[in-house]
Every structure is written in C-alpha cells, then in structure tokens.
Structure 1
Amino acid sequence: MSTVPGLAPLAVKICGLTDIASVDAALDAGADLIGLVFFPPSPRNVSIELGAALAERARGRAEIVALTVDAAPDLLDEIVTRVRPTLLQFHGKETPETIAATRARTGCPVMKAIGISGAEDLAAIEIYREAADRLLLDAKAPKGATRPGGNGAAFDWTLLGALDRSFPFMLSGGLTPETVADAVATVRPAAVDVSSGVETAPGRKDPARIAAFVAAARQGVARHPESV
C-alpha cells in the first residue's frame, strides 16, 4: 500500500499492460501495482516470455500482479517460476479450495476477483476471504461476455456501503480518470484498479490517461481523507 505524504493510504493498480512503454508510464505515474494478463482471449494477453520481461522492468518499483482465468496448475506454476509475481490474481470461477491450494503449493499470495451486480453477490466475499490474501470487487460480466470482469462497466458502488473494512479490498469495474475520485470517496477501498479506462483501444494504454487516473485517485483521498 502506498502512502502519499499527508494523505490516507490508497494503492493504485494499472492492469493489462502489454509493453515496456506502458509499464514505464504506470511506474512514472506512481502506480503501486502493475497487472499482467495471462489469458489468451483477452486483447491484453501476454506470453510468459513477455510477461517475465515486463515484470523485471517493474520489479522493486511496484507489485507485480499476474492475472489468470481458470488456469491449469501447470500454467500457474510456470507463471510463478518464470514471471515471479508478487501476487496471483484469479479472475475466473476458481473455488476457494483451488485458490488456497495454489497459495500453499506456490507460496505466492493470491487475490480473488468477485463479480458484483446486486446485493446477493456480496455473499461471495465471506466465502473467499479465508482463502485469499486480498479481494478485488469488480462489475459482473454481462450476459454473453466472452471474458470475465465488467468489460469497462461499473456497478452500483453503494452496494458496498456496509462492508466490513477489516478485510481490505480493491475496487475495479468501469473506473476512469473522470470517475475514480468519486469512487474512492463513495466506496472507501484500500486500492483501485483500472485497465480499459486508461486505453485508446483495447490493449493500448494511454500514458496521459494513466497519469491522470493516478492523480485523480490521490485527489479523491485529498478531498475526502476520512474515506479510505
């Protein structure tokens, strides 16, 4: 978790980075975490070789998050061995047992993404919180979607108003430089995550929007220091 002098801590994750330039843009903007996607259907997918190179670029300057979707154990093991992420992100239908077993086998901390569209989806938080080191609350994928996650859409943040803050969570789903400050004030997350909201096209990050997103997230804390 980063700490901005005089402000409450808030971590910022830039996900779906696919080249050195976008990694550098995220680091230069002050991102705390970078996300690498290992899921071929995604336009942000990277190979193990490229992912390892991007991870080395960021190592020591930001946490490295490896995103997978219902990945086989051998793929997870290869990612941990070759990419050496600081966090494995599970974005599919993985069970708590699978997540806990992966953490025990690899020794790598894990984060589970939970799709939210209504109050009934909040029950999954209790189901996964013992198995995962962190939780990411994202918009639930719309019907017919070929990829998990909100696909650039937000969900009703007020659904999270009564959550127990003793287990810190990351907020994702439809965040942009224009909306993240309000999200921080409304939801009071420990961290925020963005991918398509800082792109000019799927998989193509815009350095200016990355910088604007990080700055806006920090400004959201500055305006509402009690919110995080």
Structure 2
Amino acid sequence: MARIKICGVRDRAAIDAAAAGHADYVGFVFFPKSPRNLSFDEASALAGMTPSAIRRIGLFVNADDEMIGAAVRAARLDGVQLHGEEGPDRAAAIKGRFGVEVWKALAVTTRADLAAARSYAGVVDRILFDAKTPPGAALPGGMGVRFDWRLLAGGRGGFDPGVPWGLAGGLDASTVAEALATTQAPLVDVSSGVEDAPGVKSPAKIRAFCEAVRAR
C-alpha cells in the first residue's frame, strides 16, 4: 500500500485529519514565497501536535545550512525535502551534517527528466517526481500541476530510478486512484489537492484523499 504525505500543513485541524487518515508523513514548508510557509515557532508548535507515528518532513528551496538547521531543531524534523536546484553534492552535505532523511524533488515533463534521479542514487533517501511549474511561477511545486504519469508506468516492476521514490503534482481524492494504478507509486504527496484555498487545508479533503489511497 502506498504511503501518504500531506504537505504544507499549517494548523492542528490538518494534523488531526492526517492522523485520522493514517497518513505516514506531514510536510512543513520553509519557503517565504509559499502561502504554506511556517515560522520556526509555528513549526515547533505543530511538531508538538503531531503524533509520534507520523514523520515530519521539512520542505526547503535552495536554503542555507543555517536555515535548515534552525528548522530541523525547531520542528524536530525526521527529514528534509529539497525542492530547489540542489545537486547530489549539496544533498549529500545536508545529509551528512544534519543526520536526517533527505528527499529530492525532481520536476518532470518528459522521460528524459527521469534520468536525473540516478545521479542521486546512494545519496538521498527518496526522489519525489513532481510536475514542472509554468514558466515564471513563484513556486516550485504545490500548484496542482500534473505530468504524464504514464512516464512512470511499470512502477516497482518496471521503472526503477535506483532509489526509493514518490509521486506529487495534480493529486487529489479524485485522481490518486488513477495515479496509483498507472505508476504503482510507493508514496503519494499531496498539497493543493487537499486545500480550500492556497495554504488553507481542508480536513474533509485530507480524509477523503487518505481514504482513496487506503481503498486501493
């Protein structure tokens, strides 16, 4: 069964809905341009509300060590998700310094974009395949854009990036069954697909998304 990550949570209602839906991860965003951005104090408070069974992943975009370290300490992060231009060397340095899981998001439009995953094999703990955002977009993800999931067709039995992976982009309760049937993704990551407005999570949509995943 696919694991579930609810990204961009900002309040207790979203945390509680993720817990009720048996999500495996929640994502805390540390990117000032995002409507889901958290201060370190806000992240610390949310961490205290998160059940121990749910792992906390912090999302960063080209952040420096000072920012990552402060967030890891404040939110007691289990992992760091890199959503910028971070290459394998930068990912390895972050993993070595902070001793947490490191995920790397890769933007996908064509099959050729998938090849970049192999350069992170043996470096990161997970690759997250996401859609490329429109040119000039202020955010690198979390915009509900999807790519052609058939590029990942075959899943565990076919496509192999050489590292554990997950799927993001364009997912919600109505599309996740199709995404899983097409890709056999071992993890699905949702943000805007469980919101009523940018940065405003819907507990009902979170529960519906988790139910759609668990029903497979």
Q: TM-score, normalised by structure 2?
A: 0.94
1:138 aligns with 2:130: yes
Match of 2:47 in 1: 55
Contact 1:168/1:189 (<8 A) preserved: no
Query: Is the aligned partner of 1:118 residue 2:110?
Result: yes
Q: Does 1:168 align with 2:167?
A: no
Is contact 2:95-2:102 (8 Å) kept?
yes
Cα distance in 2 for partners of 1:182, 1:22 equals: 24
- How large is the RMSD of aligned CA atoms in angstroms? 1.3
Select 1:188's aligned residue among 175, 184, 188: 184
* Equivalent residue for 1:84, pick from 76, 80, 83: 76
Cα displacement (A) at 1:165: 6.8
Match of 2:207 in 1: 211
State the shift of 1:167 in Å. 3.0
Q: Quick one: distance in 1 between partners of 2:89 and 2:51? A: 29
AA partner of residue 110 (structure 2):
G
Retained in 2: the 8 A contact 1:38–1:45?
Answer: yes
Matched, 1:12 2:4: yes
SS at match of 2:136: coil
Who is 1:201 aligned against?
197
Unpaired segments ≥5 residues, structure 2: none
Which residue of structure 1 aligns with residue 96 of structure 2? Answer: 104
Equivalenced residue count is 212
Gaps of 5+ in 1: 1-8, 222-228
Q: State the alpha-carbon separation in 2 of the partners of residues 168 and 94 from structure 1.
A: 18
Q: Secondary structure at the match of 2:193?
A: helix
2:150 to 145, 150, 158: 158
- Indicate conservation of the 8 Å contact 1:170/1:189, yes or no: yes
Q: Is the 8 A contact 2:115 2:161 kept in 1?
A: no
Structure 1: how far apart are the matches of 2:187 and 2:113? 20
Corresponding letter in the other structure for 1:35: G
**Distance (Å, rounded) in 1 between the aligned partners of 2:113 and 2:104:** 14
From 135, 140, 147, give the equivalent of 2:139: 147
Q: Percent identity, aligned pairs only?
A: 45
Partner SS state of residue 70, structure 1: coil
Q: For residue 129 of structure 1, what is the aligned residue in structure 2? A: 121
Shift of 1:213: 0.3
Work out whether residues 172 and 193 of structure 1, in 8 Å CA contact, stay in contact via their aligned partners in 2. Answer: yes
| Amino acid of the structure 2 residue aligned with 1:186 | T
Write the distance in 2 (CA, Å) between the matches of 1:109 and 1:95.
Answer: 16
- For the pair 1:36 / 2:32, whether they are aligned, the reply is no
Alignment correspondent of 1:6: none
Q: Distance in 2 between matches of 1:17 and 1:40?
A: 15
Aligned partner of 1:122: which letter? L
